[in-house]
Structure 1
């Protein structure tokens, strides 16, 4: 009988102690970061840090930070029609404020590659302003427009070179028009250094791929990281597949934006060549070159940077500043990183031999 009572009381005491331990440990199980010790390897003990990210708060925080710097862009373009004369067409896109004095970054195709008759900007506070096109480049699909409005909310630009596959990606834009303005979609970075064709002879290089939903109207809007920093400018979606969106890395736009803000314009450097992709040259001429990729130089203009450096027709450009050049799009992209009087080492292939030449722009 005594043994039964003893067992009964021991059970009660055990239950009380278990409850107290649960109450003590429960809060510690909810912290965002804790250590888990793994097995010893030799004399060193490794510790794995586990970060428990509360994703529901990340998106809210990013939205609050980035939304005021995202704008809607509407355009009116006049197109000439042989049968019906001039026709007016409207377009909708997105942009991101990059300077408090009114500079806004978007896609070139959003402003009709410079052909838009009017460009209007709708701001977070509901106000609307007309904008001027400061700069655009169809090859990069980037443009900078400016409004006569100051003290704007400026987006924080991140570092696209540090982006990795699997990172959180958040897109903000106006999918399918202003009816759904500033829609936020989320996903991850699905791939890096992608290339998509925009015509039979043109492509956009070095894009970031994301499964964050991007639709017509998102173009020109920001792709953001988990800190609310702009890491890319949304540019395209492959219509035949789901979750295949693409963004231009923000580091491509940074030097352009910086110079425009500082000087009010962008002055690009010119190499002084006429060239064609190696593959296109081989297909057109039936000639097989000793390299598979690069730019075959058809002509070098006298007095230009290339001419002074000793580059000549028949050479194939392989690299600029250590960056591989696959086609004309990648060459243009690399040249945008340089300023007048800058120097660069250009690797070329001449009659099957590789050599380096120094070019001063």
Structure 2
């Protein structure tokens, strides 16, 4: 983009540019002081971004920024450098929580990402490629995306933005025009331009709450391995399903909740509590903490060619 001379713009357009600039600057003034540079200590070094969410030194970043480290070095915009410990991490959402060894002067608020709309201003703050406290701005390109985490699991409710992100932005905040953190910057598509992703603030809020209460994010466990397969049309019609795929159980662990509930290798899982299961990602998504110790109805197509319902009592997934 070339230089824009405001003197040759219509007065209304110049006012709009000024209003946009003030909006971005105000949001950065509000959240920027809470953004830290995070350096991994021990083992293989690395760095990224993070942001404080409380005055007692609680910081959100990405799981892939801290990886297996137990300690990190934190540097804040006001010149404070201190160490911090990793309180907990969740590879499934690429979120980690750090506790700084000292109190922090600034912190940011997590907003309600469900209130976002496409086209709204999105501002990223972080430390891309070592250039500390860099600000980029764009718009919310799409909502409700799903992207695959480094461990292969799908992260749901992801925000797509065209705000420029680069290595080092990971873990930094995506900020709304109101100065609220609406996402945690997490990924870019290599080779693409204008496509970047942030874990939604609502997901981050849930993960932080779980980590602070339980030390990890609880998820339900039934003891199976599975893959996504084509669903025969006749089976879909008979079961009242619209999709063309389902989940086939490759293995059922002996003595597991699935085994005790009567699921067997080769069964197709069609639905859980009437919610369709069109693939492994759906199965993972439906086995959330709310299903722990709550009996669920699994609609299956078994090896004998019959559709039946099995009752399964999920347990908490082992750490």
Same-fold call, TM cutoff 0.5: yes
> Do the aligned partners of 1:106 and 1:221 also contact (CA within 8 Å) in 2?
yes
CA distance in structure 2 between the aligned counterparts of 1:194 and 1:271, rounded to whole angstroms: 25
Rounded Cα–Cα distance in structure 2 between residues aligned with 1:182 and 1:194:
27
- Within the candidate set 103, 118, 124, 1:165 is matched to 118
- 2:98 corresponds to which of 124, 137, 145: 145
Distance 1:356 1:201 in 2: 28
Of the structure 1 ranges 296-305 and 155-164, higher mean CA displacement relative to structure 2 is found in 296-305
**2:215 aligns with one of 265, 277, 299:** 265
**SS of the residue aligned with 1:54?**
helix
Asked if 2 retains the 8 angstrom alpha-carbon contact of 1:268 and 1:339, the reply is: no
- How far apart are residue 172 of structure 1 and its match? 0.8
Match of 2:51 in 1: 96
Q: Report Cα offsets for 1:280-339 as digits up to 9, x if no partner.
A: xx6xxxxx9856444433334455554555554444445667776554455445545538
Counterparts in 2 of 1:307 and 1:208: CA distance versus 1, 3 Å? same
User: Is the 1:140–1:333 contact (alpha carbons within 8 Å) kept by the matching residues of 2?
Assistant: no
Counterpart check, 1:242 vs 2:193: yes
The residue aligned with 1:298 is 250
Partners of 2:275 and 2:132 lie apart in 1 by 38
Q: Which protein has greater RCO, CA pairs closer than 8 Å, 6+ apart?
A: 2
The yes-or-no answer on 1:106 pairing with 2:61 is yes
1:75 maps to 2:75:
no
Structure 2: where are the runs of 5+ without partners? 1-11, 237-242
1:73-99 C-alpha deviation (Å, 9 max, x unpaired):
111453xxxxxxxxxx42110112223
Post-superposition offset of 1:273 = 2.4
**1:271–1:100: structure 2 CA closer, same or farther, 3 Å change rule?**
same
Deviations 1:44-79, CA, capped at 9 Å, x for gaps: xxxxxxx9992222111111111122111111453x
**Residues 101, 356 of structure 1: CA spacing in aligned structure 2 closer, same or farther, 3 A cutoff?**
farther
Contact 1:252 1:333 in 2 (8 A): no
Contact 2:89–2:211 (8 Å) recurs in 1: no
User: Which region of structure 1 is more displaced relative to structure 2, 319-328 or 293-302?
Assistant: 319-328
Match of 1:43 in 2: none
Question: CA 1:339–1:354 in structure 2 vs 1: closer, same or farther (change >3 Å)?
Answer: closer
Cα distance in 2, alignment partners of residues 68 and 319 from structure 1: 47
| TM-score, normalised by the number of residues in structure 1 | 0.68
Name the larger-Rg structure: 1
Conservation of the 8 A alpha-carbon contact between 2:91 and 2:149: no
Specify the alignment match of 2:203 in structure 1: 252
